[in-house]
Chains A and B, each alone.
Chain A
């Protein structure tokens, strides 16, 4: 009923239009006071057809049933969202000023029967969501196969799907070029790609981890190779349009970096026992300074894990949002239906193209940086400064 009152006010003041944001902030108690008044008003204005509803032709004052149903839809939305403002927005998106009684009735029935999980409510959320599209929408995690076990949430999400895809991609790639599929003396293109990746990480491990014999270094090599390949394929897969970037999620990169960090610390304790604590105190430090330095070194040591995760996540998220923002800009310009904008859109388009190239570079570079930092940290843990 609040809507009717607002239209009344509009016509009485004959001022400019009232936008919905200010309308929605009017006190609820105030609106309920006007309910009786406005229903009387609506029946009173039946004969003056071109009166207060002039600026809103979709709303037919003669049909009180329409108004009733629209109010019912809005009230249902408010009850479902527990938030008057959100309910108003959703309700308006849902009935869309329609004066079709069966349509409105079906929406109202759906809201009554199915509630939040109903088709109508989800549609309202979709409509509102589309209106406020954010560049961060692409990182949304959608449960593909919802699974609840007790209080735990084990859904198979799009993130899990793309992680599985990544795994299967590089496992298949490696499977097809090693003994089973290839293993030629003179490698073909695929085989040399895999050999290139293998050699690259092998050299990295050889160069960065010092003071051990080759055999001991081999112990760490598989883990580092798999980490590198996983990140590389995740990052590159994220560059495919409409796919999902697994590494753009803090949770995933942080889980990876923390588990590796804990593993490296365990390796350090394994090799040095309690002597590993000397890592926290550089040699030749005057004793009075020691407490401060130990604290500082401890903080910087623990921060490594955090920064390793944040670096990868921030690079991926920032890059993808940037590309999304600029391509949205170019697309809007293209759709302006104006020849000058159409030509002008070439500028943003080329920037998007250049940025895509940059992002491909960043995808490879960040996988490399992650890997080389793991090697450096591992070297620190093994050789203690």
Chain B
């Protein structure tokens, strides 16, 4: 019995880490919505005024990179949970 308790503690910690890292990826839902929003707005805008397409694409890429960075913050949290503690 004592041996089992001794064994289960690091395993529970490992399991909790995995659950935590998995939970951290929920944040990707928000990033997905954000990226979808950026490009849907780009398509709307280009459909309304095709002459601005080039300029708008630059802005969209910038917006995409900024939104993607938020997703990567979540990824970094997952890595921190998995490997640092």
Rounded to whole angstroms, the CA-CA distance of A75 and B34 in the bound complex is 56
Query: Are B61 and A310 within 8 A (Cβ)?
Result: no
B65 touches which one: A25, A134, A310, A365 (CB < 8 A)?
A: A365
Given contacts A25-B7, A136-B83, A365-B61, contact A314 B72 (CB under 8 A): yes
Cross-chain contact B76 with A314 (CB below 8 angstroms) = yes
Q: Mark A302-314, 1 if CB is under 8 A from B, else 0.
A: 0000010011001
B-side contacts of A26, CB under 8 Å? 3
Instruction: Kindly identify which residue among B7, B73, B79, B83 contacts A310, using a CB–CB cutoff of 8 Å.
Output: B73
CA distance A136 to B79 in the complex (A): 10
Distance A15 CA – B75 CA, assembled complex (angstroms) = 44
Known interface pairs A310-B69, A315-B69; A22-B76 also in contact (CB < 8 Å) = no
* Alpha-carbon distance between A317 and B72 when the two chains are bound, in angstroms: 9
Q: B32 — which chain A residues lie within 8 A by C-beta?
A: none
Residues of A with C-beta under 8 A to B76: 310, 314, 317-318
Give the residues in chain B near A315, CB-CB below 8 Å.
Answer: 68-69, 72
A366 at the interface (CB under 8 A from B): yes
Check if B61 sits within 8 Å of A314, measured CB to CB. Answer: no
A318 to B83, CA, bound (A): 14
Of B72, B75, B79, the most chain A CB neighbours within 10 A belong to: B72
Q: Is the CB of A314 within 8 A of B7?
A: no
| Interface size grouping (class) on chain B | 10 to 19
A372 at the interface (CB under 8 A from B): yes
In the bound complex, CA of A19 to CA of B73 (Å): 38
Task: Return the contact of B6 from the options A25, A318, A369 (Cβ within 8 A).
Answer: A25
Q: Tell me the residues in window 120-148 of chain A with beta carbons closer than 8 Å to chain B beta carbons.
A: 134, 136
Residue among B65, B66, B76, B83 with max Cβ neighbours from chain A (10 Å)? B65
Residues in B with CB closer than 8 Å to A310 are: 69, 72-73, 76
Which residues in B have their C-beta under 8 angstroms from that of A22? 7
Q: How far is the CA of A314 from the CA of B75 in the complex (A)?
A: 8
Looking at the assembled complex, report how far the CB atom of A34 sits from the nearest CB atom of chain B, in whole angstroms.
Answer: 15
Contact count A vs B, C-beta below 8 Å: 37
Q: Does B62 contact A (CB under 8 A)?
A: yes
- Give chain B interface residues in 1-24, CB to chain A under 8 Å: 3, 6-7
Q: Could you mark each residue 358-377 of chain A with 1 if its beta carbon is under 8 Å from any beta carbon of chain B, else 0?
A: 00000001100100100000
Contacts of B75 in A (CB 8 A): 314, 318
- Rounded to whole angstroms, the CA-CA distance of A363 and B23 in the bound complex is 28
CB nearest to B7 among chain A residues: A25
Q: How far is the CA of A311 from the CA of B79 in the complex (A)?
A: 15
Alpha-carbon separation in the docked complex, A366 to B66 (Å) = 9
By the criterion CB–CB under 8 Å, are A25 and B3 in contact?
yes
Docked Cα-Cα span, A259 to B43, in Å, equals 38
**Nearest-Cβ distance from residue A259 to partner chain B, whole angstroms:** 20
Contact A366 B65 (CB under 8 A): yes
Is the beta-carbon distance between B65 and A369 smaller than 8 angstroms? Answer: yes
A residues 13-32 touching B (CB-CB < 8 Å): 22, 25-26
Q: Given A22-B7, A25-B3, A25-B7 in contact, is the A372-B72 Cβ separation under 8 Å?
A: no
- Bound: A134/B82 CA distance, A: 12
* A369–B69 CA distance with the chains assembled, in angstroms: 11
Q: Are B65 and A318 touching (Cβ within 8 A)?
A: no
A315-B3 Cα distance, complex, nearest whole Å: 44
Contact of B69 among A25, A314, A372 (CB under 8 A): A314
Residues of B within 8 A of A311 (CB): 65-66, 69, 72
Report Cα–Cα, A120/B7, bound state, in Å: 30
Chain A residue numbers with a CB within 8 Å of B66 are: 311, 369
Question: Can you show 17 pairs from A to B with CB atoms below 8 A apart?
Answer: A310-B69, A311-B65, A311-B66, A311-B69, A311-B72, A314-B72, A314-B73, A314-B76, A315-B68, A315-B72, A317-B76, A317-B79, A318-B72, A365-B65, A366-B65, A369-B62, A372-B62
A interface residues with partner B (beta carbon < 8 Å) = 22, 25-26, 134, 136, 307, 310-311, 314-315, 317-318, 365-366, 369, 372
Which 7 residue pairs are nearest across A and B when measured between Cβ atoms? A314-B72, A311-B69, A369-B65, A314-B76, A318-B75, A318-B72, A365-B65
Known: A25-B7, A310-B72, A314-B73. 17 other contacts (CB 8 A): A25-B6, A26-B3, A136-B79, A136-B83, A307-B69, A310-B69, A311-B65, A311-B66, A314-B69, A314-B72, A315-B69, A315-B72, A317-B76, A318-B76, A366-B65, A369-B65, A369-B66
